[in-house]
Structure 1
Amino acid sequence: MARYDNYGVALAGYLVQVVSGQPFAQYVQDHVFGPLGMTGTTFVQPHPAAIQVHVADGYRPGGRGQVRENGQYGAWSPTGAGTVATATDMGTFMIAQMADDPRLGAGVAQSLRQQHFTMDPRLPGMGWMLQQAPRNGQPLLFKNGDVPGFHANLAMLPDQKIGIYVVYNGDATNGVASWDGRDLIHQIVDRYVSDTSPAPKAVSGIDTSGLAGNYRVNRISHTQVTKVVALLSTASVAVAPGGSLTTSGLSLNPNAGDQHWYPIGTGLFQEQAGQAQIAFDGKGNLFMSDDPTVAFTKLAWYSSPTLHQIMLGAGVVVLLVAFLWLPILALVRHRRGRPAYSRWAQAARVAAWLTGGLTTVFIGWLAVLASDMNALTESVVLGSVVLTVLLSLNGIAVATTAAMIAGTGAAWARRWWTVKGRMAYTITTAAAISYLMVAFTYNLIGTPIG
């Protein structure tokens, strides 16, 4: 099992640099762009002045208009960060690829197109960067690229000598920007290449036990706040009578609904009214023909996003109530002339109030940021003081929760408040722990600034 990874691709570029003794950008210029006459394409950063003057800006929706994106740059070549090209040059490259142009080097084009890896031998796999995705029974190779504000989609049907390149410089409001280019390519292929391949026949008696459950894609962030997407975007598999499956969250189209599949072999399923296939390896992994670069792994019950959502939601609600109710409780007690609690008992309640306040501010602020995922992605990629401050709130909440844990023990040992008061405080502490466990799991805790 493997996954596509930007750092892995950057490592490949670095190896080219080490072996050739040339900077990667210069090597590609000398051996690919130059020989093919691709004068508008470069890996060099900063871009040469003659190219920079023609570079398009990226945009994302903001308010009632469009906001300029800052793009994505850095020493990640050849991942595409900072790479620029013209549509004309990409057409030249595809023609050279499909013609086995000797200027690319002997056997280079064929090596790029052939399969070098597949998650499952029954499904399409990968060449060198190019991914296999048969369409209408014909071999199709593609490579997509997405950074904030920019989306590019390259597809080739070598047998028909057809190349398609779709590129645009704007993000959508509903997350479909990265899908629209591929959808257009499918429409073009369907228009010019007839589907003559017969649909696979259903097979009966296939064992589907153990397939149902929640699955998570293995291409997720493990260190960034964007891991929180996994809290809401996990795929699910349900088994229906007769061995068919219903899935949600697998389609690359974010607007797609449930998908239905029928068995065509052991652990192999064909999409009803579609061309996709999925396969299970019997070890808890799911693979899909639509994207041969990733796998989905079945989640244990304690990793279920539904459980985490309940833990997060319950924690937030209880802490919000504590944040609003504790000041009211203190005010009522003061007006009734009741004696003040001990200093440590008061400190324990202040800790609970602070934890509730930090949580309320964090969730509200994160909701505002997450309402524009394009802007949030840009903040994560390029860095943001606002995001750093936001994550530091939960870092402070860790300290106040630790004080609450100590306060809970002291409250029962020293009999602070009434029994109901101690129980309420204990529940609030449990809610804070529940909330922070989910925050920690999804990288929502940062170090306080200072």
Structure 2
Amino acid sequence: MRALSGLVGLCCGLLLSFQADAQRPPAPPQAATPPAGVDSVARLTADDATTWLDGFMPYAIARGDIAGAVVTVVKDGQILVRRGYGVSDVAAQTPVDPDRTLFRMASVSKLMTWTAVMQLVEAGKLDLDADINQYLDFKVPERGLPITLRQLMTHTGGFEANIKYMWTSEAVAEAGGIELGPYLKRRVPAQIFAPGTVPAYSNYGTSLAGYIVERVSGQPFAEYVEQHIFVPLQMQHASFRQPLPPALRALVTKGYALGSGKPRAFEVTPSAPAGALSATGSDMARFMIAHLSAAGGHDTAILKAATSQLMLTPQTRFAPPLNTMALGFYEIDVNGQRVVSHAGDTYSFHSQLFLFRDHDVGLFVSLNSAGANGITGPIRRELLENFADRYFPAGAPATAAAVDTALAKAQSRQLAAPSYLDSRRAETGIGRTGILTQTRLEALDDGSLRLPRLKQPNGQPTTFKPIGPWLWQASNSELRLAAILKDGTPVGFAVDSSSPFNVFLAAEGYRSALWLKPLLTAAVAALALAALAWPIAALVRRRHGRVLGWPRSTLLAYRLSRAACWLLLLVPAAAMAVMAWASADFARLDDRLDPAVIGLGIATVIAIIGGIGATAWNLVQTVRAGRGWLARLWAALLLLSACVLAYALVLMGLADFALNY
């Protein structure tokens, strides 16, 4: 069972986009909130922000074991603060320079892609609501309806989240192995939702949009962005190129798992429009200024004001009143302020951009290490919340509406009944191994809901108190949880922190962990007991000079059934070993893994056929030999256990032979 559980947990960790933050650094002391009626924004000065950041960031990165960070703040069209913290190279002790040190932007890169798309929409060369296939030189399969650019920009194209080819090496990039068009054509993911119906974060969808920019503009994507975004905004060190040009390669910070550890290799992604940008803190400040200016009604060098308004308009809310996507940006409102954002994470780099659009204020942060215990998420969240509390404090809370306790109890029980799957998930081949790692809600006696997956800073699960029909709020923050209703019946739920691009949908009955996990646990225990007891019993008999006096066919069936138990258990163990090898360097998740995937498929099919066949024959021979009822019951239990594990292996995709996982 340890092998199976480990495999499920490992693969789930590869696929989940919504992470529960395990630890949050305590906030440094803050100034008192201004009295009501005082213009708190006026306090946002270069001196005050610098002093505050210099108190927060060094402590945060030191506690989190992060090598270095950069933070920039912009206001009223100017760079207010640009600060580097820690080092870009631990061995050389090179300090972070906000003007010259390049950080990897990860998914913040998507904002460049979406800006490029909106430029071409503005020019009349793209239609947000047209079938994307009219812009491509290959056909993306449709699930009932065509996919549009609007759906790509809101992560509602319906694509599964594959893990193959997410990362590769600089050697592959130097050899020309990451051309965007060929990459997209060879790894078209399955469309698991009808377009426009479910938010499911998609790097592939963003890369498709980048390829459309490339085809419609007639320029390679990296060149288009350089000419139409970087040059007009004087983002002198920004680049999507992989590897970086020699002049920039010497300036990029090294990436670390832990600041106290060794540096990792430069992370190359074939999905360049979704995550390949390298840039300095000052580059990102100029990008924020341009978007804030356009949002404020001014035409800029990259977008007209009307285009910006369209880009920042919220789209469909799948779990109202929670946050949702605009076109490329997503809402992350705080203290009653309208804030749009985008985060980005590679294995080493963790970045986020926040635009306080009503105040012409922007905040950007990037960290060059994963840090300890998933600390980068809490640091970014704490930075935003403390920044907002300091400069945009919340007004007096509105009088809370009375909550119908009886109704809240009934609704919490109803919502907590199923087991849930992330909308962002893989459904092909070994990518499906995490399918049984599902999310549960716990209904409490007062109508509250507990979400064990989402941890508080003290490690305890987050509890949400009812504040309205099908709506709950965290007891210690503004975070909300809402049910997703269909014809008045809950079919899922979402949480503010991820609701724009990921929701939780009730698992179908045939693969619900509610019944399958307990049954699978019992099945694995029975098979393991039989497998382990076989050699032990043989040794005991040999020591005491005893033999099994059964007919030859019965004895053969017994031995084959026990060998089959071992085979059934070794398959998930082998799968775990393969995934552990790949997880040591995610660039290995490419064609090099194909022989192992095919081998796993062959082994799984043999184990399923052999396991069910051998245990079934053992049951028949046990009955024919006239053995006692206990032996017959045990033989029947082994057959049932083999069937259950075989079913789970099929559900987890180990018998698919699919190479586009």
TM range (shorter): 0.7 to 0.9
Q: What does residue 174 of structure 1 align with?
A: 373
Q: CA deviation at 1:126?
A: 1.2
Contact 1:235 1:250 in 2 (8 A): no
Distance in 2 separating the partners of 1:212 and 1:374: 33
Q: Secondary structure at the match of 2:467?
A: strand
Q: Show CA shifts across 1:307-362 (max 9, x none).
A: 33323322222222222111233344553145575257425523432432551584
Which residue is 2:492 aligned to? 285
Q: Match for 1:249 among 431, 453, 463?
A: 453
SS at match of 1:281: strand
* CA-to-aligned-CA distance 1:380-431 (integer Å, 9 cap, x gap): 5796589749955545422431332442454256438655434323322322
Corresponding residue for residue 270 of structure 1: 473
Compare 350-359 and 146-155 and name the one that shifted more.
350-359
Look up the match of 1:429: 639
Cα distance, 1:444–1:342 mapped onto 2, change above 3 Å: same
Gaps in structure 1 of 5+ consecutive residues: none
**Shift, 1:246, TM fit:** 3.6
Deviates most, 384-393 or 309-318: 384-393
Equivalent residue in structure 2 for 1:85, among 259, 279, 286: 279
Q: How does 1:1-400 map to 2 (within 5 A)?
A: 1-60=198-257, 65-66=261-262, 68=264, 71-74=267-270, 76-80=271-275, 82-100=276-294, 102-107=300-305, 108-172=307-371, 174-196=373-395, 198-199=397-398, 201-205=400-404, 206=407, 208-209=410-411, 210-213=414-417, 214-223=419-428, 225=430, 227-229=432-434, 231-232=436-437, 234-238=439-443, 240-241=445-446, 243-250=447-454, 255=459, 257-264=461-468, 266-283=469-486, 284-291=491-498, 292-299=500-507, 303-333=511-541, 335-339=545-549, 341-342=551-552, 345-346=555-556, 349-356=559-566, 359=569, 362-363=572-573, 366=576, 375=584, 380=589, 384=593, 388=597, 391=600, 394-400=604-610
**1:305 Cα shift?**
2.6
Matched position secondary structure for 2:373:
coil
- The reply on whether 1:403 has 2:610 as its aligned counterpart is no
What are structure 2's unaligned runs of at least 5 residues? 1-197
RMSD: 3.7
* Cα distance in 1, alignment partners of residues 658 and 220 from structure 2: 39
Q: Which amino acid aligns with 1:4?
A: Y
| Contact 1:411–1:417 (8 Å) recurs in 2 | no
| Distance change in 2, residues 1:39/1:443 (3 Å) | farther
Q: 1:364 to 1:382 in 2, by over 3 A?
A: closer
Task: State how far apart, in whole Å, the 1-side matches of 2:324 and 2:341 are.
Answer: 11
**What is the alpha-carbon distance in structure 1 between the residues aligned to residue 368 and residue 524 of structure 2?**
38
| Number of equivalenced pairs | 443
Give, in whole Å, the separation in 1 of the partners of 2:467 and 2:415.
12
| Alpha-carbon distance in structure 2 between the residues aligned to 1:117 and 1:448 | 34
- SS at 1:159's partner residue? coil
Q: Please, what TM-score do these two structures have when normalized by structure 2?
A: 0.59
Tell me how far apart the structure 2 counterparts of residues 231 and 252 of structure 1 sit (CA, whole Å).
24
Alignment partners' CA distance in 2, 1:200 and 1:438: 50
Q: Is the 8 A contact 1:411 1:422 kept in 2?
A: no
TM-score w.r.t. length of structure 1: 0.83
Deviations 1:137-165 (A, max 9, x none): 11111111112222211111122222222
Q: Is the 8 A contact 1:225 1:443 kept in 2?
A: yes
Structure 1 residue 232: Cα displacement:
4.0
**Contact 2:582–2:589 (CA<8 Å) still a contact in 1?**
no
CA change 1:410–1:423 in 2 (3 A) is same
When structure 1 is superposed on structure 2, of 393-402 and 286-295 the one drifting more is 393-402
Note closer, same or farther for the CA distance 1:278–1:332 as it changes in structure 2 (3 Å cut): closer
For 2:522 and 2:479, the matched residues in 1 are separated by 39
Q: Distance in 1 between matches of 2:208 and 2:529?
A: 50
Report the alpha carbon displacement of residue 57 of structure 1 after superposing the two structures with TM.
3.4
Tell whether the 8 Å contact from 1:267 to 1:279 is kept in structure 2 after alignment: yes
Give identity over the alignment, percent.
27
